[in-house]
Structures are given as structure tokens and as C-alpha cells.
Structure 1
Amino acid sequence: MKKNNVLSKVATLLTGVVLTAGLLTGCGDTSSQAGSAASTAETITVTFMNQDETIGTATANVGEVLDKSSYEAFETAESGEFNGWYETPSYLESSKKDLKTDSFTKDTTLYGDFRAAEVSEDTRHWYIAGTSKTGSLALNNWAADLSDEDKAQFELVPTGNAVNEFSLTIDLYEGDQFQIIPDWSWDGQKGYGKFTQIDDTQMENAGGLADSVDKANVQVKEDGNYTITLTTNPDNQAQDTLTIVRNSDPVEAN
């Protein structure tokens, strides 16, 4: 009986040792897995550009905001005053990123908009080109062959308010489509994507033959008298911008 008791106690002790060893091994595995997960956290790289020049990169975990210290030095350049980061080289307003709050899920290239204090004079003549069923753009007919006198009613003229700022006030009607072109030519056309101020209840992207939204037709959704304003930089045409503001109902109808 005593022998059996001794064997029983030995068996119990061995079982305890095995269980303890198993628990310790399990704890070790958990720690290893946690460390492995942390070490394999997915990271992304953001590349910063000034026109065609790469000025630096920064990294962060997927979904995390970049540390300011990793990119703030890139926001200073001799080429001009910094005006924001964009995912498109044409500085499309909808692609602007706020690095204080925005994060990324994949490697991304951002383009810095650096505005020079002085720019070359723009000596081109700028026009609206489009089509209409009821308004004056019916005559325009996408920059048809018109006399200089007829062209004049479609020209954006210098405002005198800022360097290379041009504007046109014109009646537009629902269904009208248009773009802005230089010298009555489609080389350098500017469409929906170049508008930094546009009311989507009044205008919409109507697409076009070009792949770029910058060259997409603008389609009018609400009749009105509108002022279109163009600001250009001949030294960096990616910085050309447009705005359109509704002033009133069509003047011709009043």
C-alpha cells in the first residue's frame, strides 16, 4: 500500500511539471506572436515632388498620419510659397491632402504646389469654347471658324486685379457645355478639373474626349449669369486655376 501511495504521488508531481511546462511554453508563443505581428506591420512610403523633382520621402504604418517632422522640411522651396500637397501633378483641388489628418493605405506620390512671387506675363488670348441649344454658345459651337468680332464676345479679358487674371461674364443655360482655351486653339484647353471654385449644384463634369478630368467638359445644370475667372502661370501651367460664380438669372432674359 505504501509503495502504491509513493507511486501515486510521483505520478501527480510529474503531471504538474508537464502542465507547468506547457503553460510556460504557451506564454512564450503568445509573446513571440505579438512581437512578430508588430514587426510585420505594413508600412507605406509617401514620395514628395516639386514638379518633376523628387524632394524626399516619408514612411508610416498603413492608416496612420505621417509624423510632421518627416515631411515639414519639404514644404520650403526657393521656387515659391508652399500652397499644399496634391495627388495629381496638375494640383486638382479634389486631390489635395491635409497631412495633419489624412492617412494613406498604399505608396503614394504627392506634388507640392509652390507659388512663385513673380511669374511671366501671359500674352495669350483666352476664350470660352462650347455649345448651347439656346444661348450664345450656339454660335461659338466649340470654337468654330468665326470672325474676330464674333470671337470677342467669348474672350476672357484681363481684370487688372492680379497678375495674369482674366474673366468673362456670360449667360449660360442648362445643358450648355464648355471649356476654356487659349488663342482659339485646343492646345492648352482647361476643363472641369481646373476649377478650384465651382458649385456642383450648378455645374457638373460632363467628361470629354481627353482622359484627364482637367480637360473634361463643364456642363451647366442651372440657368444663370456667370462670371468665369482664370489665373495663369506661364512658367508652370499646372498652377493655372479657374473659378465660376453665379451672379443672377440670365441677363438676356430680364
Structure 2
Amino acid sequence: MKRALIWLAAAVVLTGCKIQEAEYFDPTADGYRMLQSANRHLTEAAAAASRVMLFNLYYSASDEERKTLHDRYFYTSRIVDSGNGEWRIIDRDGELVILTGGQPLATDGAVWRYFYLSPTYAETTIACRTNGDETAYDLRLPDGGGELTFTAVFPGRTQEDGATRYWCELSLTGSGACPAEKDLYGFDELRYRITGTLKYISTAPQRFELGQLELTGRIDGDELEATAQYLPDNRITIASGPYENDYYWH
């Protein structure tokens, strides 16, 4: 009887250990980690592109309109014309250099280059394509970071206090790879493909409002695949194999 009680106690302890481990098992955790790195890379690219698109409004405007546009979009920035088509947007935390080639970006065939000033700066290229009333922009990120296409709109919405709030909204498609410096978890390789158009709003710069990504990665010899879907309630659904979980941005 005593031996039976000892075996029963041991079985309870072992079973308890297994249950505790199961409580912390998350089969979509690697997919979420891939999404975090890809999201960081893509939102930084979208934030810079939206700033360039807003600057194009300023660049293309008359002197009278520029003051209004500066106060609307760049009220904490200093805009400097450095000559020869080079402009600088100077903020407290950084300096964005834009090489315009001397023509507005919304001209068919126009190509702008831009980069944030730093010891290791890398240029991004943005090119305009127009087809009738439709205008799209091709974005080539440095170091194989991605080849994206987007459209841009500039909504305004009246607030409760009567003021109008303005922003830039991008819709992005394309694919690419997350550079090592943007990778948060040390993946040997991390690639993304936009399978549902990403909707980016400049007033929410750290995430996308809608869209879907297919993610593939490799870490410690393991090959990983996942799908990430952005939903409008600050939620992301990660699917990996037969598993699916929801995560929330904080």
C-alpha cells in the first residue's frame, strides 16, 4: 500500500510538470516574432515614404501655399533647400535628405532618392508611374529590403473641436527581406510577401491598419512559415501550420 501511494504521488508530480509546460506552449510564437521584425522594417519604410509624399505636396506648392502645408505637416520641422535639387527636413531626432532631381515627384517618370542622415545611411528610391488618373509609386528599399508599390491619399477629418486633422495614407503591395539591423530575434533569414494590401496611416506609425503578410524564416537550422493578418481592432492573427492565435498591439 505504501509503495502504491509513493507511485501515485510521483505520477501526480510528473503530471503536474507536464501540465505546467503545456500552459506556456505557444505554437505560433515564432510566427509572431517574424511578424514583429517584418512589421518594424515595413512600418519604418512606410513612415519615411509617407513623409516624402507629404514633402512632395510642399515642394509642388506655391510660396503662399507652402506656409499652410508646413504648419499642417511639418510644424515641428525645419525645411532647408540646400540647392541642386537637394532638400533637408530637420527634426529634433533626425535629418531626412531628399534628392528631387529638380522636379515634383508626382510627374510620370520622376525619381527621387532619400535617406536619413547617419554614418551608415542607405538610399531609398521612389519612382512615379501615372496611367490616366491613376498614380502609383515604386519603392526600392536598400540592400534588398524590398520592392514595393504604393498609392497615396491625404485625407482630412473635422474633429469635435472644429479643427481638421490631416494625414497621409498609403496602400502597399510587394515583397522583400528584413535586414539584419531591423531583425529583433536573430533570424538567419526572414522574408515577407504582402498577400493582402497593407494600409498605413501616418498618425499610427508603428503598425498597419489592415493587410496580410506571408512570412518565411530560418533560425538555428529550422525553417519557419507563418501568415499574419492585421485587423482593425488593434489585433493581429498569426497562423502557422494547423495553429492560429490572436495577438494585440499595446
- The TM tier, using the shorter chain, reads under 0.3
Structure with higher Rg: it is 1
TM-score, length of structure 2 as denominator length: 0.25
**Structure 1 or 2: more strand by fraction:** 2
TM-score, length of structure 1 as denominator length: 0.24
